[in-house]
């Protein structure tokens, strides 16, 4: 007899009520798959523990999600928990993707706001926004109606991210960082993500939006006394005018302002960025607040 199971106090009907399974199904699963749950009382009554109930409910949930019970029945509780986490993650992305495919902007925004409220800013960006953007990037050019769905999704994500950015307050005395995209760079989601991450790391952020000429950037730097400037460069990656614009930015902000650049298009201008003393940041580690 299993010592732990022998301490069980839950009968099979109560176990069925807790797991959504019938007693017949529970008995059949035990016979077929050896679930490793339950034990016998001194009167030979089948009893289960709270741990048994949690394990069986998890197995039932994973089976409904499409997992083969013979394949998972002998996994440890820890392994089952990891599988369950992956299923929840897949489900949460699936609902966001479906809202986009249905062109349902209201539902998409509500789902995004719910995710943010439940998981917090860092988890929301890492586990909802970034995977969703990667999916959108691979979807829009290959599917009829994909351009429209990309525009709808981008608008909803931008709105939620901008609200999040506005809600993040800097600590007293925080250094000031400007975030924008250079002239000709109209994609701003990357810049918004940088602004959010910078605020979470302790910067006071002034977000200037996309497509800003060098002269305007220089004006804001001089009037605010910003210590650093973050540029997001996404597309196009073959803008013949951007190298001159980057040099103009350096002239406008002066030699002492730290300039960093990120975004998937930044590497295309690596030599030009290097020539103005800008750093290319791939992992946002460049946003560390200076000591």
pLDDT confidence of residue 144: 67
Supply the CATH number for residue 152's domain: 1.10.1240.10
List, for residues 22-60, the tens digit of each pLDDT value. Answer: 888 888 888 888 877 777 767 777 888 888 888 888 888
Backbone angles phi, psi at 259, to 5 degrees: -115, 125
Average pLDDT, the chain: 86
The tokens describing 157, both together, are 């994500």
- Looking at the fold, whether 197 and 277 belong to one and the same domain comes out as yes
Q: How many domains does the chain have?
A: 3
List, for residues 153-200, the tens digit of each pLDDT value. Answer: 999 999 999 999 999 988 889 999 999 999 999 999 999 999 999 999
- How distant, in Å, are the alpha carbons of 21, 63, 122, 235 from that of 112? 33, 28, 13, 25
Final residue before a domain boundary, out of 23, 47, 73: 73
**Tokens 């810049």, residue?**
191
- Looking at the fold, whether 119 and 94 belong to one and the same domain comes out as yes
Q: State the CB neighbour count (10 A cutoff) for residue 290.
A: 8
Domain boundaries, position 261: 170-287
| Interatomic CA distance for residues 181 and 262, integer angstroms | 10
pLDDT confidence of residue 5: 41
- Looking at the fold, whether 32 and 94 belong to one and the same domain comes out as no
Can you give the pTM of this predicted structure?
0.67
């Amino acid at each position: 007899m299993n010592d732990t199971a022998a301490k069980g106090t839950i009968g099979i009907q109560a176990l069925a009520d807790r797991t959504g399974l019938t007693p017949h199904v529970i008995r059949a699963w035990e016979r077929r798959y050896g679930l490793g749950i339950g034990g016998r009382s001194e009167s030979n009554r089948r009893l289960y523990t709270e741990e048994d109930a949690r394990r069986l409910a998890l197995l039932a949930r994973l089976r409904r999600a499409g997992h083969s019970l013979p394949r998972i029945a002998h996994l440890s509780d820890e392994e089952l928990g990891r599988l369950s986490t992956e299923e929840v993650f897949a489900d949460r992305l699936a609902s966001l993707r479906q809202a986009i495919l249905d062109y349902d902007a209201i539902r998409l925004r509500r789902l995004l706001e719910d995710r943010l409220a439940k998981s917090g800013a860092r988890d929301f960006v890492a586990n909802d926004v970034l995977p969703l953007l990667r999916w959108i990037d691979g979807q829009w050019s290959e599917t009829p109606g994909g351009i429209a769905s990309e525009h709808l999704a981008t608008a909803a994500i931008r709105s939620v991210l901008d609200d999040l950015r506005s809600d993040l307050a800097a600590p007293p005395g925080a250094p000031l960082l400007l975030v924008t995209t250079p002239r000709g760079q109209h994609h701003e989601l990357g810049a918004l993500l940088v602004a959010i991450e910078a605020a979470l790391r302790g910067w006071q952020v002034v977000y200037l939006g996309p497509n800003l000429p060098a002269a305007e950037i220089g004006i804001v730097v001089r009037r605010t006394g910003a210590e650093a400037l973050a540029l997001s460069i996404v597309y196009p990656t073959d803008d013949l005018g951007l190298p001159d614009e980057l040099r103009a930015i350096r002239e406008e902000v002066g030699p002492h302002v730290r300039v960093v650049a990120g975004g998937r298009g930044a590497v295309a201008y690596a030599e030009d960025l290097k020539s103005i003393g800008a750093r290319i940041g791939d992992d946002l580690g460049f946003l560390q607040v200076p000591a």
